[in-house]
Structure 1
Amino acid sequence: MRKLYYAALAYMIAGLLSGIYFRELTKATGFHGETMLSILHTHLLILGMFFFLIVIALEKLYSLTNNRLFTLFFWTYNVGVIWTITLMAVHGTRDVLHLPSGPAISGMAGMGHIILSIALVLFFIILKDALFPKTINH
């Protein structure tokens, strides 16, 4: 339960800091336009803080952390979110600085989404096991 709390807290801090980073970088460079930085704040708060707050509530009800897949899910999910967010920050910063991003950054960001997708599948397996426990029929 403690690691879920600290994950939510860390994503809240990162989400707030990313909002400041977006505002200050675009103000300093006089940038007006579309950039990935504008959605970084929301992604961190929803995929990070709010998601883990919901997992905390589900943990309280169903003891999700008792599932043998939980640790794999937890670390896969965090790697996926951090990977995706990092590439969004790189891409957005390059946009604001008028530097080309190229296909390598897009491809790497896609890998982050794949990792996140794997983690979400694991989460739904864990959730299904908690909601519908297997019973032994004799």
Structure 2
Amino acid sequence: MISGLFYREFTKIKDFHGDTQLALMHTHLLALGMLVFLIVLALDKVFGLSGSKLFTAFFWFYNIGIAISTAMMGVHGILTVLGRDEDHIAEAVPLTAGLGHILLTVGLILLFILLGKRVNEHVKPASTPNEPTAETASAV
């Protein structure tokens, strides 16, 4: 919420009218930060994801990725509002943002690997109608 407030007030103070990365920070933080973790919370409740090394690795990679990516959105947006055009923003800004996106991706891959393992553990093979179940076989 603070990023949205900052965007509104900073652009108003600087009398800026145009596109800036600051306008996207609020949405990115809500979607990547809050909504994803609400979904992960529900998945954890069903599949017991937390407590494993893979979950811990996902958590740190993902959160560091969010922090780096949104920080670079903020830096890029502030520089834009202050009058820097794309040619005058240091290459380190988009490169660092790219690193943040890579960390986010690694985190998501770790989450999907863990989720795949947990889903497979929860799937019980169904017996076919022609095969006797364990109870039927022991009764014979």
Shorter-chain TM-score above 0.5? yes
Whether 2:99 is the aligned partner of 1:111: answer yes
Task: Tell me the equivalent position of 1:8.
Answer: none
Q: Which amino acid aligns with 2:101?
A: H
Paired with 1:110 and 1:68, the residues of 2 have a C-alpha distance of 25
Residue 67 of structure 2 aligns to a residue in which SS? Answer: helix
Whether 2:15 is the aligned partner of 1:27: answer no
Q: How large is the RMSD of aligned CA atoms in angstroms?
A: 1.4
Structure with more of its chain in helix, by fraction: 1
Which one has a bigger Cα radius of gyration?
2
Aligned equivalent of 1:97, options 69, 79, 82: 82
Paired with 1:38 and 1:69, the residues of 2 have a C-alpha distance of 33
Identity of matched residues, %: 45
- For 1:1-138, list aligned pairs within 5 A: 16-99=1-84, 100-133=88-121
Task: Tell me the equivalent position of 2:130.
Answer: none
Q: Give the C-alpha shift of residue 134 in structure 1.
A: 8.6
Paired with 1:43 and 1:24, the residues of 2 have a C-alpha distance of 19
Residue 19 of structure 2 aligns to a residue in which SS? Answer: coil
Gaps of 5+ in 2: 124-140
Q: How many residues align?
A: 120
Q: Give the C-alpha shift of residue 101 in structure 1.
A: 1.5
